[in-house]
A = this chain, B = another copy of it.
Amino acid sequence: MADNTQELYNRYIELMRKITDIKKAADVLQWDQETYLPRKSSDIRGQQIATLTETAHHFFSSEQLGNILTELAGKNDLTENQKKNCELTLEDYLKNKKYSSQFVRKLSEQINKTFHAWIKAREMNSFSVFENELNVLITLKKQESELLGYEAHPYNAHLNEYEKGCTVHFLDNVFEPLLPFLNSLLGKIKSQAPVDNAFLQQYFPKQKQWEWGMYLIQQLGFDFDSGRQDISEHPFTTSFSPTDVRLTTRIDENDFANMTWSCIHEAGHGLYEQGLPVDQYGLPLGEYCSLGIHESQSRLWENNVGRSEAFWQNYFPKLQEFFPEQFKTTSSEIFYKGINKIEPGLIRTEADEITYHFHVYIRYELEKDLFEGNLKTTDIPAYWNEMYLKYLGIKVPDDNHGCLQDIHWSHGSFGYFPTYSLGSLYAAQFYTYINKMIPGLEEDMEKGSVLKILQWLKQYIYPYGRKYTSDELCIRITGESLNASFFKDHLLRKFGNMYTL
């Protein structure tokens, strides 16, 4: 590489790292807000985050960066990875230029207001407390659709933000054949003898659950020298660099399942973030591929690993050591069947592997209608409750167990939920290949080792960052694009063994 190109590329790196430092600082302030911030400081914190967001935007839309990127685009002596970084950054840059500083600040401030309205609404168990701020935010998000531009559907602009190339057309094609399959499977299972999972609703002291969760996360390979876990209202994972990945969880003393699988889920995200190449900090190749792939990582650990018979073969006795009283009379068979109980419920994050996707689908349909203008924010609770009755056959008792349960809208994340379902599908497809490529994996897991899975992910997924799109990555690993049949096969095999289907 000629000196001039090298120099130019280094200037590009330097600029990108500074912009990333500022973005990551905003993420630290956001994390702090959701874990430790004193109550009265929400307004000023909102302004502080808005200033950082606006400042990062300011530098990221500077002419200086634009000129460097244009110049780099004309260079032939960049390595393949360098070229990819420059290409992706140019793409991001051009998109970023579509936003004015004022709009960025306005959006950031409104997100803060909406987040605090959500917290308050949760406290009061009343959507109407949230509705006004949410409405203002949705208006801004609709303006964002127009700024970004889209084909066919304004919602596509947002879907594309989380999963490049994702559209209403693509998702309809995923959900339409999937839902009848899930519905039929659900029907067959419901016709069988009910499963007992009452042992999950005992009293599990907070501190003991915390220790158990920390133990589990550490067992999965999460590096506590490069990350930590804290408590928040809604579990999430955020990363300030691969050496500083923060998980959060929440603890329900009367429900063992709540924290355990949220810990595994967030650890799946966290392992991915810790595995991203640290030398690419600030550059696209240091970022995650897409949210669908991110979710494939959390869902893979949560379900394919964390709800598998082989995993609990080893960890159930450990669990009994943590909670000897609570699991005294529970056999490992009862435990395994109980933690996989299929039962329509109110809360997405607590849903089983089958009904989960109805939760996602309902939010998807609702958001689609919001962006089409067919649904007003005031009508969300009624719409929500109707859909839950229609798809899951259950009555929603109040807003906290209904349309207030997720944090996402309060963060301005519309178009995010579908990636949860995509994640499950990718996870099943990847996990099939992991099993093919690691002979004796189940036996290893029964003996307590899940580290081969982490090693595999470290080899085939983590190191690439955003180098490949999710589709390209999927083809590289499995030889084909996303294919729901892997997920269907997984369910048929798993629940076929558990029930007479």
Contacts and interface: CB of A to CB of B under 8 A. Distances in A.
A297 interface: no
A240 to B, nearest CB: 7
A44 B55 CA distance: 20
A255 to B, nearest CB: 26
B228 A18 contact: no
A24 interface: yes
Given A32-B28, A281-B44, A244 B37 contact: yes
Given A38-B227, A225-B39, A228-B36, A25 B44 contact: no
A51 interface: yes
A89 B389 CA distance: 62
A75 B387 CA distance: 63
A489 to B, nearest CB: 39
A378 interface: no
Nearest to A45: B244
B55 A22 contact: yes
B40 A29 contact: no
A99 interface: no
The quantity of this chain's copies bound in the complex is 2
Contacts of A37: 244
A244 B38 CA distance: 6
Contacts of A22: 51-52, 55
Interface in A18-59: 18, 21-22, 24-26, 28-29, 32, 36-41, 43-45, 47-48, 50-52, 54-55
Interface string A234-247: 00000011011100
Contacts of A164: none
Contacts of A40: 223, 225-226, 243-244
Contacts of A32: 28, 32
A57 to B, nearest CB: 13
Contact of A21 (B21, B38, B51): B51
A38 B224 contact: yes
Given A32-B32, A41-B240, A52 B21 contact: yes
A48 B228 contact: no
Contacts of A458: none
Nearest to A39: B225
A102 to B, nearest CB: 12
Contact of A240 (B44, B52, B228): B44
A354 B183 CA distance: 79
A17 interface: yes
A227 B387 CA distance: 43
Contact of A18 (B25, B44, B51, B241): B51
Interface in A241-264: 241, 243-245
A434 to B, nearest CB: 27
A270 to B, nearest CB: 11
Contacts of A24: 48
A438 B245 CA distance: 52
B21 A25 contact: no
B240 A48 contact: yes
Nearest to A35: B36
A21 B48 contact: yes
Nearest to A241: B44
A36 B230 CA distance: 10
A48 B22 CA distance: 7
A486 B243 CA distance: 52
Contacts of A28: 25, 28-29, 32, 48
A338 to B, nearest CB: 35
A3 to B, nearest CB: 22
28 contacts: A17-B47, A18-B51, A18-B54, A18-B55, A21-B48, A21-B50, A22-B52, A22-B55, A25-B26, A25-B28, A25-B52, A28-B29, A28-B32, A32-B32, A36-B228, A36-B230, A38-B224, A38-B225, A38-B228, A39-B226, A40-B226, A41-B240, A41-B244, A44-B240, A44-B278, A44-B281, A45-B244, A55-B55
Interface of A: 17-18, 21-22, 24-26, 28-29, 32, 36-41, 43-45, 47-48, 50-52, 54-55, 223-228, 230, 240-241, 243-245, 278, 281
Given A17-B47, A39-B225, A40-B244, 20 more contacts: A21-B47, A22-B51, A22-B52, A25-B25, A25-B51, A28-B29, A36-B228, A37-B244, A38-B227, A38-B228, A38-B243, A38-B244, A38-B245, A40-B243, A41-B243, A44-B240, A44-B243, A44-B244, A44-B281, A55-B55
**A-B interface, 6 closest residue pairs, ranked by CB to CB distance from nearest:** A21-B51, A41-B244, A41-B243, A44-B241, A21-B48, A40-B243
